[in-house]
């Protein structure tokens, strides 16, 4: 096992090197979230699994100030569209209620072969 540090938009991994990737509450920090999904696609082997967790769109402006959020969460349709654009097929999606009226969207997808 190795620990490699890098930016989500430029992961320090070769193409198709990983069997699985987990993107946990990171997309809303990126300038272009679809670029993070494209990079996850690049490093996953065909059929590899992506687990994505991020916030549903919300109206809590305090999060941007406290945590540097660039996006107020995402509409489910946005994530689905970006995943398809990046080359993923969605297996499962669910919502998990959180404090402050927030909801985490959890999506499991596979890199298309």
Q: Where are the domains of the chain?
A: 18-111
Q: What's the rounded Cα separation, in Å, for the pair 35 and 42? A: 10
| 18-111: CATH architecture | 3-Layer(aba) Sandwich (3.40)
Place 65 in a pLDDT band, splitting at 50, 70 and 90.
Answer: confident
Confidence (pTM): 0.93
At 62, give phi and psi (nearest 5°). -65, -30
Beta-carbon contacts of residue 23 (< 8 Å; ≥ 6 apart)? 8, 36, 37, 40, 50, 51, 52, 53, 54
pLDDT above 90 coverage of the chain, percent: 84
Compute the C-alpha angle 97/69/93, nearest 5°.
35
Beta-carbon contacts of residue 2 (< 8 Å; ≥ 6 apart)? none
Mean pLDDT computed over every residue of the chain: 95
Tell me the per-residue pLDDT of 90-109, one tens digit each, with 9 for 90 and over: 999 999 999 999 999 999 99
């Amino acid at each position: 096992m190795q620990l490699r540090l890098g930016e989500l938009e430029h992961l320090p991994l070769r193409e198709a090197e990983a069997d699985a990737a987990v993107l946990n509450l990171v997309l809303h920090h990126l300038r272009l979230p679809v670029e993070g999904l494209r990079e996850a696609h690049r490093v996953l082997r065909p059929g590899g699994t992506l687990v994505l967790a991020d916030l549903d769109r919300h109206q809590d402006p305090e999060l941007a100030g406290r945590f540097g959020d660039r996006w107020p969460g995402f509409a489910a349709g946005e994530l689905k569209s970006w995943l398809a654009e990046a080359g993923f097929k969605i297996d499962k999606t669910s919502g998990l209620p959180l404090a402050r009226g927030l909801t985490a969207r959890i999506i499991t997808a596979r890199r298309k072969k």
